[in-house]
Amino acid sequence: MPATSPTLNVMMLAARKAARDLRRDFGEVENLQVSKKGPGDFVSNADLKAEQTIFEELSHARPGYGFIMEESGVREGKDKTHNWIVDPLDGTSNFLHGIPHFATSIALEREGQLVAGVVYNPVTDEMYYAEKGTGAYFNDKRMRVAGRTRLSDAVLACGIPHGVRAGQEAFANEIKTLLPKVAGVRRFGAAALDLAYVAAGRVDGFWERGLSSWDMAAGVVLVREAGGIVTDLKQGSNFLETGDIVAANDTLHDRLIPELG
């Protein structure tokens, strides 16, 4: 494994510790006590336990850093220049249905800039990690975004708004536009892993609307350090605020923007 910084080591350790309970609960998914936050948006004991583990580990390692977490919200720290952005279980619906495609996502924000990210799938033991200026890695291998430049060769990942979520009409128009022009579209159900797959060259691009910062932050660092481009769908906005994101290599990114605009 390539040498990693103390910061990345702390992040990966927290993700692996949270994974212990996630793996166990995934094996007994039918016994989980589950409550609904809303249509298609579940929270389980597994989410809460994983988030608490990550919070404790990171708080111990970096006292004073703030937190932005999916389940617990914002916890301000004494150090106003650093925030951990945490999704303990991205792909909760997959998890609860016994589909082994979910991840823990941890990012570090320094003075408003994303500087480090870790995405970890506990079932497959796939660790994706990156730090600004040092490259992106999958386990011990360097990652690069795919080099395909034609839409007709590209397989894209996406998110689909479901239930009562906004954006269904926009998505229907996007799919109608893109399907005849690309090699395929996949909907996996975990945005953090979608972005990790872009970084690893497994898919050529990704887009989704209405995400939260914890869904994207770590994956954004991965894609950028793997040589890719990440922007808001309108390019002039902050995707962490709008939740609308597109990621790909530079050529495909520029070709996707007009199709999704």
Q: Binding site for Mg(2+): which residues?
A: 70, 87, 89-90, 215
Q: Binding site: which residues?
A: 70, 87, 89-90, 215
- What SS3 string covers the chain? CCCCCHHHHHHHHHHHHHHHHHHHHHHCHHHCCEEEEECCEEEEHHHHHHHHHHHHHHHHHCCCEEEEECCCEEECCCEEEEEEEEEEEECHHHHHCCCCCCEEEEEEEECCEEEEEEEEECCCCEEEEEECCCCEEECCEECCCCCCCCHHHCEEEECCCCCCCCCHHHHHHHHHHHHHHCCEEECCCCHHHHHHHHHHCCCCEEEECCCCHHHHHHHHHHHHHCCCEEECCCCCCCHHHHCCEEEECHHHHHHHHHHHC
